[in-house]
Amino acid sequence: MSFQKKYVLIYFCVAAFFILRHQHSFAQNVISDDKLKVNVSTIHNSLEFINKLEPKRFDYKTRDYHNLQLPHGGHYGFITEEFKKVMPPSG
């Protein structure tokens, strides 16, 4: 695997973590993934999806959305709408 693909894979994993973390950040109880999910299957040719993703560097609009308590400073990740175009929700 090339250095670039490894780098993108790392971004993908980090972004997935942050997406999941922010989706559940207001939950009172933490439930593990394996208890929440069914019909889990492997994505074949996953590098095709990863190669289509475009990692971004960004700052949150902390002044506009101060009630969300978004973190300050630079961050790396994906734009959710762009991510969904590459890997749309199934079902």
At 11-43, the pLDDT tens digits run: 666 666 666 655 545 555 677 878 888 888 888
Predicted TM-score (pTM) of the model is 0.49
Check residues 2 and 30 and name the one with the higher pLDDT. 30
**Alpha-carbon torsion, ordered 39, 21, 45, 7, to 10 deg:** -160
pLDDT-derived band at 89 (thresholds 50, 70, 90) equals confident
Mean pLDDT of the chain: 79
Sequence-ordered list of residues with C-beta below 8 angstroms from that of 51, at least 6 positions apart, any chain: 5, 8
Q: Locate the domains of the chain by residue range.
A: 1-20+43-91
Measured distance CA(78)–CA(86) in Å, rounded: 11
Measured distance CA(45)–CA(53) in Å, rounded: 14
pLDDT given at position 64: 93
pLDDT given at position 5: 62
